Amino acid sequence: MVDLILANEPLIRMACFGAILLTIGVWEAAAPCRTRAFSRWQRWPNNLGIVVFNSVIARFAFPVAAVGTAAIAQQNGWGLLNTTDLPPLVAIVLAVIILDFVVYLQHMMFHAVPALWRLHRMHHTDLDFDVTTGARFHPIEIVLSMGLKLVVVSALGAPPVAVLIFEVLLNGTSMFNHGNIHIAPAIDRVLRWIVVTPDMHRIHHSDLPHETNSNFGFSLPWWDRLCGTYRDQPERGHRGMTIGIGQFRDGRELWLDRLLVQPFRGDIGPYALGHKPEQWIDVPELQAKLAQNSDEVLIDVRGPDEYVGELGHIPGARNIPLDELPNRINDLATEQAKSITMICKTDKRSAAAAELMRQQNFSDVRVLKGGMEAWIRHDLPVDRQ
Ligand SMILES: [Zn+2]
Ligand SMILES: [Zn+2]
């Protein structure tokens, strides 16, 4: 029986994928949680296209998949569990749980290491959150995680059946917890003690960096609670929160061709845990940023009379005097995920203001080096109204 299951592994996995996709898809149509920002026609062919692309790449890169590796390890007695005499059922359960913990740690690494974040970022740039988001990963991320999985499966000596169960389970829970489905809060509360629910994982797709960097679990919800990365609800509610990240917010970015090259485009952004954003920005750098990205938020912290005075201000800069900033910081809540530059006459008040902003969870705040005096020295346009 086990041999029969293992021999038909690709077929079993594909059938499960199709059945779960259909089930969650129907569920999404019947009881949606959020209104879609984009039609399915815009996203589904691209998100499912990448699934096909990834399956082909994985077949070529790894002729022996994870289950095959587990079988080879078992025949040769490699790996921890193959050297112990545990009852088969215990070994299977243990292996599934350990593999799930490895996936949690791996997901954290993909958020922590800047280069890995560039790859994983593509999962987070989906501007809606539904069942197809759950299968939308960059091919290089798929190859890297497959490589890691083969190493862990061999070192652990995971039984082949356990690996198959784990893969089908991960695939299924990933599609379930990305579902745009409404589950009553009372049921969700109970459910999320045993499995990661859509309401739990949706927080991970918030555009606020501190929410993106929480709820890393895919199948089992325990790791987030044990490791302190658990977040119960999104600050702006499930219907009010913004899905995606600050970068790549144009509808064109949802197309397959853009998805594939996204890791190599744009700067790293404020999300990667291991990325310390530059504290300072000089005039030419800011000028270049303004030329290519109109999303940059400019905040001038001088008094109103200086703002319209002799030095004037950078066109588009908002005036929030330093002493008013603590009270007005809430007005900026929608800009929390954006790139912000603080400006004053030199750079003393703006540096103090930037520190204040960082304490309030604004993660990408820079200070214009030399302030307005430097801006004027470069002979750049100013407004005086
Ligand atoms: Zn993630
Ligand atoms: Zn996700």
Residue ranges covered by each domain of the chain: 2-264, 280-377
Residue 273: what pLDDT? 84
Interval 26-64: pLDDT, tens: 999 999 999 999 999 999 999 999 999 999 998 888 877
* pTM of the predicted structure, to 2 decimals: 0.82
Taking the centre of ligand 2 as the mean of its atom positions, its distance from the CA of residue 178, in whole angstroms, is: 6
| 280-377 classified as CATH 3.30.230.10 | no
Q: Where are the beta strands (DSSP E) in the chain?
A: 280-281, 297-300, 318-319, 340-343, 365-368
Q: Ligand 2 mean position to 171 CA, how many Å?
A: 12
CA distances from 181 to 110, 235, 327, 331 (A): 26, 19, 38, 31
HSE-CB at 200 with a 13 A cutoff on CA atoms is 28
Spatial separation of the C-alpha atoms in residues 189 and 195, rounded to whole Å:
10
Residue 110 C-alpha to ligand 1 middle, in angstroms? 7
The string of pLDDT tens digits covering residues 224-244 is 999 999 999 999 999 999 999
- From residue 81, give the alpha-carbon distance in Å to each of 101, 102, 163: 16, 16, 13
* Spatial separation of the C-alpha atoms in residues 48 and 50, rounded to whole Å: 5
Distance, CA 277 to ligand 1 centroid (Å)?
19
Of the listed ligands, the closest to the CA of 111 is 1
Distance from C-alpha of 346 to C-alpha of 34, rounded to nearest angstrom: 46
Q: What is residue 306's three-state secondary structure?
A: helix
pLDDT digit string (tens) for 116-174? 999 999 999 999 999 999 999 999 999 999 999 999 999 999 999 999 999 999 999 99
